[in-house]
Amino acid sequence: NAGVTQTPKFQVLKTGQSMTLQCAQDMNHEYMSWYRQDPGMGLRLIHYSVGAGITDQGEVPNGYNVSRSTTEDFPLRLLSAAPSQTSVYFCASSYTSGTAWPQHFGDGTRLSIL
Partner 1 sequence: ILNVEQSPQSLHVQEGDSTNFTCSFPSSNFYALHWYRWETAKSPEALFVMTLNGDEKKKGRISATLNTKEGYSYLYIKGSQPEDSATYLCAPEGGSEKLVFGKGTKLTVNP
Q: Which residues bind partner 1 (CB under 8 A)?
A: 31, 33, 35, 40-45, 48, 50, 56, 58-59, 90, 96, 98-108
Residue 41 vs 79, nearer CB to partner 1 = 41
Nearer to partner 1 among residue 2 and residue 98 (C-beta): 98
Q: How far is the CB of 94 from partner 1 (least distance, A)?
A: 9
Closest approach, Cβ 105 to partner 1, in A, equals 4
Q: What is the DSSP letter of 53?
A: T
For 82, the 3-state DSSP assignment is: coil
Q: Which of 36, 25, 41 is nearest to 96 (CA)?
A: 25
Q: State whether the Cα torsion 91-54-77-46 is positive or negative.
A: negative
Give me the least distance between CB of 95 and partner 1, in Å please.
Answer: 12
* CA 42/CA 79 separation, integer angstroms: 24
Phi, psi dihedrals of residue 85, rounded to the nearest 5°: -90, 5
- C-beta of 12 vs 41, nearer to partner 1: 41
Task: For residues 54 and 93, give the distance between their C-alpha atoms in angstroms, rounded to a whole number.
Answer: 14
Closest separation in Å from C-beta 91 to partner 1: 10
For partner 1, give the closer residue by CB, 58 or 75. 58
